[in-house]
Structure 1
């Protein structure tokens, strides 16, 4: 490697959360975004290649990413990688690793800071338009994801890695200098990203790459376009060829090729609990083949709750619950799915206000900015969401709002509210990942009602991602915090269970919801480094014996 001048340890620029824009009628931002959306629709499907060692590759196998608002049209036609191409990508990544891990830290950081600035400015409307049309997000959901959160991941990631690298041994014996080195993993990382957040698409390969790893990135087939734009932005920001290999295609073939490889070092995954467990088993079955023990980092499903205390502000709890359950059609890992309300509130205004507000929600194509909800992502999601409403009715549940859908043009499911008398009914236990909310009304007339309902919330499902408590009574908050200690990796008080912000609320949950490695915090970066201690002795010894040997 060429000699590099040493410039000390420069301070990184001040890091703050990316300011979010409102896109109100008549604003410059609204006009700019509307233009980007209209132009993307008019242009038709984008041709998306695989990118191996910095070069676009066509494989002859293609697939389409459909527009869920209008499933007769596609936003992208993309090339699919096969096992042979993945093998080539792995070898190319390992070759690129030699110079990437030796690149001065400040230069790696500069790439990600520049990428964030490109997203915040030059490409803001484009990446939002791709997220809206390809992933079914309305303006606000695209803004908080594809514009703000991905910038936050890249910028705060730089700050957090700078902090990580600064952590050095506190003590040094006389004549000894101790140092800590944070090496990348020995091998390559496989990043498998989901459809529902463009920001996660950027962070899953970005976090390990920032600390010197090389990555095979398999994007979701339902987010290829926005993820490809992220890749192109990283490339424009200076990411060297081969550091991140962009490989859309069939999950099973790509993943198996990677996890069978001797230099497989880590899985960085966001997706379903079932798939994550299968991948874990697959990795374990190969454990004797690997150079080192792979790091498995995963964020999976949720069955998230709002628990309302009799002292709660009804209107606030209603509106926070609607946002948590129905923003982005409930297709967030953190989305509200089960709502616990005391009978004393439910029968005295809570139910009526909740139903009224849900029925006022508008549903339509994302290019029409006025709608609060858009389509679910696919036919499978449509059928699943509508099917859960039908299953609830068969179990005796009452459909208070919604329950139907229309997939004739787009995959539109009405915001659905179910009331159940069974706290362990199907829609209270199983993950749905759609706009279906189930309410259970609990008896708050008994002295120990709060402890009892907290126990039910804690024991209801196998998931433990997010949850919220609404109560003016502070003792109730204290008790819920204790009783529900293991029920969620993210606990909210007087606010909805969605909307974690990088640098403010590190994201992740336990139990079946994942490894709880807290994306958006310094914790995630520990998983992608190998630490090496160096002890340097400054004083020569003149004999091997110790004083007591005399």
Structure 2
């Protein structure tokens, strides 16, 4: 099985599209014929298990071996579906073996970024006039390619490049990516179907869901291959053109996603794929008059900076419109345990929430509140189970944890652990160690804080570090208020563990704004597309809810059309007589 997806491997239709540089093939509008069509029913892609001896495990091991043997892999950037020629490249080390280069990727120039923007804008009219059923068919086809033909290549690239184990790669690069492609089609259709249902005799009012004027800038993070697919597919389905800049630590897997979209029939200039210096690319994009929207997932600090730049440019009248800004950013997520909780279940949820994918999910559990009456039981079991956590290269199928993403992340977490180990107000429960000799490995770490106001309850770490506070049982209600006030101003995810329905109700109500995703007897991670739409408020983002129609609607500019079927025979009202 070849894992390198190139234009030469694409379907004939894609090859022909690739030759039509600078424009989208004109597809004749067939509005009447397309109106009655319905999309396939919404569904989630089933997860494969990768159990020992399973065919899927054998397949992914085979592709991993092939991919590893060909390192460093070549990543490309694309304008109008054509790989750019570049003189300068950057490299991404393999997180599990930082002496080895995983991939080289291009350093695009401002001139190339402007070329990408102009190429996308040249495609805009034809793409937005392409019937919705034809746009949707492309992404439905892409979902099938993700779930079938390229499943293992995507997973292997995500495992090696992002340090995920096979299960985390499966739920991300295969299942969730396919879900986004499929379900964004359903969400787009849901929006298009929303029409006024109240009228007056002789009048007809309807809504035209137009794409934005200009282009959308999509900025995707390192930690989920699927997120890039989501950030580009929602706007594109509604007729927008997109400039896509993936994280430097997720270029290769993202480029596979882009090539899959081309193979599925996406006209090559609808989405432009650019790489290189993030600040330089962003300055070029945000300075363009046709910038119409930002679809962003990443750090809160970066999003604030982008928001500020756009605001300043709005004040200077740089843009024609007020750009739409959508951001899903950081979290400092909590588990709150009530005395009536099932302790064993809460421990297992906490282990997964805090330490799966090395705590590098924006929804990862990083603060824990325990009742005094159950704390010893909880912490004893937590420590015992942590001792059973396996750590190793993603190629080791039995590893529960792998490396963190890169040196900067490792050094940040290392410095926090070093300072915490010397802090007399903290008790080390587990871990507190790391090993950067071969890869960027941080061991699962738990501290118990004497004070609920310790800085670790507010500082975003983005690594496998959990901070615990033990509260007196009688202070349940006041602890709820403190949980709401803590967390560094973030409000992404949170969970309560309890059997007492009164306690659950009090927590749900008191913590109404503490988390955009609130879980009851369930960990803070693993929202499922189409079931738990995802996003938070406060400093965690604009809460437009990925995995729902809400965020897709943000990249439309609705036009209300009112038509009357009778003449007006005068201008006076009865009250004027």
Q: TM-score range by the shorter chain?
A: over 0.9
1:4 to 7, 20, 29: 29
What does residue 366 of structure 1 align with?
Answer: 394
Q: Does 1:517 align with 2:556?
A: no
Indicate if the aligned counterparts of 2:421 and 2:432 stay in contact, CA closer than 8 A: no
Report deviation, 1:408.
1.0
Q: Equivalent residue for 2:86?
A: 59
Which residue in 1 is equivalent to 2:205? 178
Confirm whether residue 20 of structure 1 aligns to residue 50 of structure 2: no
Match of 1:459 in 2: 485
State the Cα distance separating 1:241 from its structure 2 match.
Answer: 1.6
Partner of 1:381: 409
Deviation digits for residues 385-427 of structure 1 (CA, Å, limit 9, x no counterpart): 1222222233321111111111111101101011111112122
- The aligned counterpart of 2:194 is 167
Query: Mean Cα displacement is larger for which, 450-459 or 72-81?
Result: 72-81
Contact 2:27–2:130 (CA<8 Å) still a contact in 1?
no
Unaligned ranges ≥5, structure 1: none
Distance 2:472 2:573 in 1: 74
Does the CA-based 8 Å contact 1:304-1:334 persist in structure 2? yes
Alignment of 1:442-453 (within 5 A): 442-444=471-473, 446=474, 449-453=475-479
Separation in 2 of the partners of 1:334 and 1:515? 15
In structure 1, the residue matched to 2:359 is: 330
In the TM superposition, what is the alpha-carbon distance from 1:38 to its structure 2 partner? 0.7
Structure 2: distance between partners of 1:500 and 1:2: 37
CA distance in 1, matches of 2:107, 2:502: 56
Match of 2:149 among 111, 122, 140: 122
What are the residue-to-residue correspondences of 1:484-499 with 2, within 5 Å?
A: 484-499=511-526
Corresponding residue for residue 324 of structure 2? 295
Cα distance in 1, alignment partners of residues 453 and 556 from structure 2: 42
Length-normalised TM-score, structure 1: 0.98
SS in 2 for 1:87: helix
Flag structure 2 segments of 5+ consecutive residues without an equivalent: 1-25
Alignment of 1:139-154 (within 5 A): 139-154=166-181
> Aligned partners of 1:303 and 1:215: how far apart in 2?
31
Indicate the residue corresponding to 2:18 in structure 1.
none
Is residue 461 of structure 2 the alignment partner of residue 435 of structure 1? Answer: no
Matched residues, number: 546
**One of 132, 150, 156 as aligned partner of 2:183:** 156
Does structure 2 conserve the Cα–Cα contact (< 8 Å) formed by 1:389 and 1:399?
A: no
Shift of 1:547: 4.6
Deviations along 1:33-84, whole A, 9 cap, x unmatched? Answer: 1101111001112222210012110221101122101111122211121211
State whether residues 395 and 425 of structure 1, in contact with CA within 8 Å, keep that contact through their aligned partners in structure 2.
no
Secondary structure of 1:324's match?
helix
Closer, same or farther: CA 2–468 of 1 in aligned 2, 3 Å: closer
SS in 2 for 1:223: helix
The residue correspondences of 1:138-537 to structure 2 (distance < 5 A) are: 138-287=165-314, 288-347=317-376, 349-396=377-424, 397-444=426-473, 446=474, 449-461=475-487, 462-537=489-564
Rounded Cα–Cα distance in structure 1 between residues aligned with 2:472 and 2:572? 76
Compare 398-407 and 328-337 and name the one that shifted more. Answer: 398-407
Say which is worse superposed, 41-50 or 26-35, in terms of deviation.
Answer: 41-50
- SS of corresponding position for 1:73: strand
Once the two structures are TM-superposed, the CA of residue 194 in structure 1 deviates from its matched residue by 0.4
1:546 CA drift (Å): 4.0
Q: Secondary structure at the match of 1:289?
A: coil
* CA shift in 2, pair 1:410/1:204, >3 Å: same
Deviations 1:202-221 (A, max 9, x none): 11112111111111111000
The answer on whether the counterparts of 1:326 and 1:415 sit within 8 Å (CA) in structure 2 is: yes
By how many angstroms is 1:185 displaced? 0.6
Given that residues 298 and 515 in structure 1 are in contact (C-alpha distance below 8 angstroms), is that contact kept between their aligned partners in structure 2? yes
Give the alignment's TM-score, normalised by structure 2.
Answer: 0.93
Question: 2:20 maps to what in 1?
Answer: none
Asked whether the 8 Å contact 2:219–2:245 carries over to 1, the reply is: yes
Other structure's SS at 1:341 match: strand
Provide the rounded CA distance (Å) in 2 between the counterparts of 1:508 and 1:394: 35
* Cα shift readout 1:10-49 (whole Å, capped 9, x = no counterpart): 0111221000010111111010011011110011122222
CA shift, 1:269, in A, is 0.7
Does the CA-based 8 Å contact 1:302-1:334 persist in structure 2?
Answer: yes
2: CA distance between counterparts of 1:377 and 1:187? Answer: 34
Aligned equivalents of 2:42, 2:530: Cα separation in 1 = 10
* Whole-angstrom CA distance in 2 between matches of 1:47 and 1:58: 12
Helix, strand or coil: the match of 1:534?
strand
Counterpart CA distance in 2 for 1:471 and 1:496 is 13
Q: C-alpha offsets along residues 438-472 of structure 1, whole Å, 9 cap, x if unaligned?
A: 1111111x3xx111110110011210000000001
Contact 1:132 1:142 in 2 (8 A): yes
CA distance in 2, matches of 1:231, 1:3: 25
* Secondary structure, aligned partner of 2:209: strand
Q: Is the 8 A contact 2:517 2:535 kept in 1?
A: yes
CA distance in 1, matches of 2:576, 2:486: 65
Alpha-carbon displacement from aligned partner over 1:248-278 (angstroms, at most 9, x marks no partner): 1111000010111111101111111111111
Q: Per-residue CA shift, 1:312-348, capped at 9, x if unaligned?
A: 111111010000000000000000000000111012x
